[in-house]
Amino acid sequence: MAEPVRMSVRNQRNESVGEIALPDGAFGGPARRHLLYETVKMQLANRRAGTHATKTRALVSGGGKKPWRQKGTGRARAGSTRSPLWPGGASVFGPQPRDYSYRLPASARRSALRAALADKVREGKFVVLDRIELSEMKTKEVVRMMHDLGLQSALIVIAEEDAKLERAARNLPNVRVLRVGGANVYDILRFDHLVVTQPAIALLAGRVE
């Protein structure tokens, strides 16, 4: 059985307040680069609106009258001014509205999330906070916390809803707050550091074990 990973627990002022053992089954393991790639590709595909559309011959207005008679003019046969060969004509095989979403197997998604967490731990970019409490619902409070922790870019994962923290951080492009259920591979990899509150550790481990 693998040994648990031990980490320091810090407060918002970046002071050590204890230690925690991270279950190796959730926060350890091999790097799965290709699985991370496939998961991020799936997430980005699922975010696509798929509303692109070009007009086919059935959709372009006009062109109902035959431009000239079939024979005797010396020119090529033409049946409509909205042919794809004509200026102002239709598009051939252009994009049409479609659904880009698909899903990887649940076991693959769990393995990818586990690999993303393990990468942050191995790189020393995993921060455990005992809790996050803001004195007021202000963006400057989150900026001050990030400064005290010495972080420029971070995904913050919390155990449950915290409207004060979530609203205070939403204007910062380099900070995102997610509840455990919303933690995902793309955002974990997108931000430099992963900050997790101590109550969220067990819940996060439960998602990947």
The CATH number for 128's domain is 3.40.1370.10
Query: 135 and 54, same structural domain?
Result: no
| Together in a domain, 62 and 111 | no
Q: Where are the beta strands (DSSP E) in 13-150?
A: 16-22, 126-129
Q: Do 204 and 111 share a structural domain?
A: yes
Please indicate, yes or no, whether residues 44 and 55 belong to a single structural domain of this protein.
Answer: no
The residue segments making up the domain with residue 135 are 5-48+103-208
**11 & 112 share domain:** yes
57 and 72 both lie in a single domain = yes
Q: Is residue 55 domain-shared with residue 146, that is, in the same domain?
A: no
Three-state DSSP class for 35? helix
The position carrying tokens 């060969």 is: 85
Backbone dihedral angles phi then psi of residue 196, each to the nearest 5 degrees: -125, 130
Taking CA atoms, 202 is separated from 21, 70, 81, 207, in Å, by: 11, 77, 66, 9
Give me the residue label for tokens 């880009």: 100
State which of 57, 72, 99 marks the end of a domain. Answer: 99
Which residue is associated with the tokens 């005290």? 148
Per-residue pLDDT of the chain (209 residues; tens, 9 = 90+): 456 778 899 999 999 999 999 887 888 888 889 999 999 999 999 999 999 999 999 899 988 899 999 999 999 999 999 999 999 999 999 999 999 999 999 999 999 999 999 999 999 999 999 999 999 999 999 999 999 999 999 999 999 999 999 999 999 999 999 999 999 999 999 999 999 999 999 999 999 88
pLDDT score for 25: 81
Segment holding 139, helix H or strand E:
helix 139-149
Q: How far apart are the first and last CA of the chain?
A: 14
Question: Domain check: are 35 and 134 in the same one?
Answer: yes
In 3D, which of 156, 153, 174 has the Cα closest to residue 165? 156
Same domain, 37 and 57: no
Co-location of 58 and 142 in the same domain: no
180 and 115 housed in the same domain: yes
How many domains are contained in the chain? 2
